[in-house]
Amino acid sequence: MLIQPNHRRKPEFNERYYICRTIENYSTNFSIIVQYNRQISHNLLSNALYSLIKKNSWFVQNFFQIDQRNPATANGHNFEVRILEHVKFNDVVKFHQIDKFDEIIMESLNDHIFSMNNATLPLWKINVFEEMRPNGNQFISVSFDHSNYDGLSGVQLQKDLAKELLTAKDDLFYDVLFDYQRDFGNLPAKILPAVDNLTDLFDLGVLSSSNSILKKWVPFYDTICGFIWPSDPPIFDTDTPVTKNLQTKYKFLKLTSNQIGQISKYCRSHGITLTTYFDIICICALQETVFSVVKSSATHTSSLVAINGRRYYSDEIKNFLYGTLVCGAPIILPTIENKLEAMQIFHQEMTNDINTKKSFQSTGNLLKHANVWEYFQNKINKIGGRFTLTISNLGKISNSNDIFKFEQMYFVSNTGVVYNFVLNITTLPNGELTAVVGYIPEFEKYELNNKPIMNTFMEKFYDLLILTSS
């Protein structure tokens, strides 16, 4: 059965950006990894996934090139979003026996790049890791392509999956999770729209629109603006050119609910957020370790803070609409001498960005009018251009039921060609926080006091997190 025209549509600007990232190998994926309070079998998982897909066709979509034009020339306009033909359990779920869940497992997950132009593979994949030791833990990892999911979407899928596990049966195995012809009656009359179009989040304000027009038609407009508004100062970077080496190394730390309670108390007393606190402490730890060895003439760092776009809209979008409704707010700071002062500046800039939606509008301007393929290609083989750090705090995650509950959670993502360091934070219902740090492999070769520099950094990061709030 051919996929009907009403189950196809053109990709929107944000989707085209991520199509480029994936098919041109500028990034890999991100994963939300959880340990539930009970083990999950093949049968139970297949039943839960079958029910999950039956209720939401977003989980059975992919992108397809529809003509022979070079995607770079067409800027991705020669793709379409399409419902899949079928999805088999064994194509999207793999069980693995492991000695121990650790950073090596995270690295293996990072290696996966999703296939587009494939009528039987969605833009998510599940890996179940089972520790072979007595009473070993089981971890359910769901990896995602960013074109259809952001971090909160990933968490929501884990929550929705837990809800389906609650009512799923264990006496039947679904080999075919979805079949277009068999399940046609469960599909919406029309393919789900991109979230880009459901809000005005990425729409330009009057000033931004005027700037876009002037840049296009007025000679030397950028040069004139450069004299009036100077460009950003030099940012920390290594002397290694940017390449398409997508390998990412990982380390992680955990803080107890009591420790987070102490940090939260400190943040409230100074009118800042947990995200602000972690970003500044991370930069300070880098200053005292990595930056002391990896010399750079730059005196500033750049942080890209993930802002959740759902905060601006109705409960229908907040709770919950799948898709990519996130944007990065760039914050540039000089070398940090006073932590609290830096936190207050950071918090003010982040708050201003949230209130004005400035970064969403800038992103909309870039993605709607620029050639995304050229944007990424211009980064390759050049020194610099990476953000020092990107931080994404998914907040405190609630359980969707009282039977299948989260006991551990990790948010793992790729540095790609855009970041030197990635800091992803999740907090469990019991208040325990996990911070996963991703970084480019180059930092593996450095030492400080005869110890690997990243080990020293993680020790310093942990110590500063605790001591600063004491």
Higher pLDDT, 369 or 439: 439
Query: How many Å separate Cα 263 from the centre of its chain?
Result: 24
Q: What is the pLDDT of residues 29-54, one digit of tens each?
A: 999 999 999 999 999 999 999 999 99
Which segments within 111-174 are labelled E, that is strand? 124-131, 138-144
Asked whether the CA dihedral 352, 237, 413, 75 is positive or negative, the reply is: positive
Mean of the per-residue pLDDT values of the chain: 93
The pLDDT of residue 381 is above 70:
yes
Q: 304: number of CA atoms within 13 Å, CB side?
A: 19
Higher pLDDT, 203 or 66: 66
Q: Residue 195: which pLDDT band, with cuts at 50, 70 and 90?
A: confident
Tokens of 159: 């929550």
Q: Beta strand 124-131 with 300-308: parallel, antiparallel or unpaired? A: unpaired
Query: Distance between CA 57 and CA 178 in Å, rounded?
Result: 10
Average pLDDT of the residues in 362-385: 92
List the single range of 217-226, 247-256, 311-320, 392-401 with lowest mean pLDDT: 217-226
Query: Distance between CA 468 and CA 452 in Å, rounded?
Result: 24
Looking at the chain, the whole-number percentage of residues with pLDDT higher than 70 is 93
Q: 418: number of CA atoms within 13 Å, CB side?
A: 17
pLDDT of residue 366: 86
Q: Residue 225: which pLDDT band, with cuts at 50, 70 and 90?
A: very low
Average pLDDT of the residues in 439-465: 97
* Nearest CA-CA partner of 46 in 141, 176, 185: 176
Q: Beta strand 93-98 with 433-439: parallel, antiparallel or unpaired? A: unpaired
Q: Beta strand 300-308 with 93-98: parallel, antiparallel or unpaired? A: unpaired
Query: Distance between CA 416 and CA 246 in Å, rounded?
Result: 5
The pLDDT of residue 153 is above 90:
yes
pLDDT of residue 205: 60
pLDDT of residue 316: 64
CB atoms within 10 A of CB 410: 23
pLDDT of residue 218: 45
Q: Residue 231: which pLDDT band, with cuts at 50, 70 and 90?
A: low
Cis, peptide link before residue 457, omega less than 30° from 0: no
The pLDDT of residue 322 is above 50:
yes
Average pLDDT of the residues in 379-396: 96
Q: What is the pLDDT of residues 200-222, one digit of tens each?
A: 888 866 445 445 444 544 444 34
List the single range of 226-240, 362-376, 421-435, 445-459 with lowest mean pLDDT: 226-240
Average pLDDT of the residues in 310-327: 81
pLDDT of residue 219: 47
CA 268 → CA 16, 46, 277, 303, 344, distances in Å?
A: 40, 44, 11, 22, 12
Q: What is the pLDDT of residues 97-108, one digit of tens each?
A: 999 999 999 999
Give the global pTM: 0.94
Average pLDDT of the residues in 362-378: 92
To which residue do tokens 């899928």 refer?
A: 157
Q: Residue 318: which pLDDT band, with cuts at 50, 70 and 90?
A: low
In the structure, how many helices (H) and strands (E) does the chain have? 16, 18
Asked if 60 contacts 184 with a C-beta cutoff of 8 angstroms, the reply is no
* Nearest CA-CA partner of 407 in 434, 380, 375: 434
Query: Distance between CA 184 and CA 294 in Å, rounded?
Result: 57
Average pLDDT of the residues in 125-148: 97
Query: Reduced to 3 states, what is the DSSP secondary structure of residue 243?
Result: coil
**Residue 165 amino acid letter:** L
Q: Residue 233: which pLDDT band, with cuts at 50, 70 and 90?
A: confident
Query: Distance between CA 102 and CA 424 in Å, rounded?
Result: 16
Q: What is the pLDDT of residues 405-437, one digit of tens each?
A: 999 999 999 999 999 999 999 999 999 999 999
pLDDT of residue 226: 45
Hey, what domains does the chain have and what are their CATH numbers?
5-188 (3.30.559.10), 233-395+415-468 (3.30.559.30)
Query: Reduced to 3 states, what is the DSSP secondary structure of residue 192?
Result: coil
Asked whether the CA dihedral 90, 92, 54, 401 is positive or negative, the reply is: positive
CA 15 → CA 56, 85, 153, distances in Å?
A: 19, 21, 15
Tokens of 3: 């996929």
Residue 43 phi, psi dihedral angles, 5° rounding: -60, -50
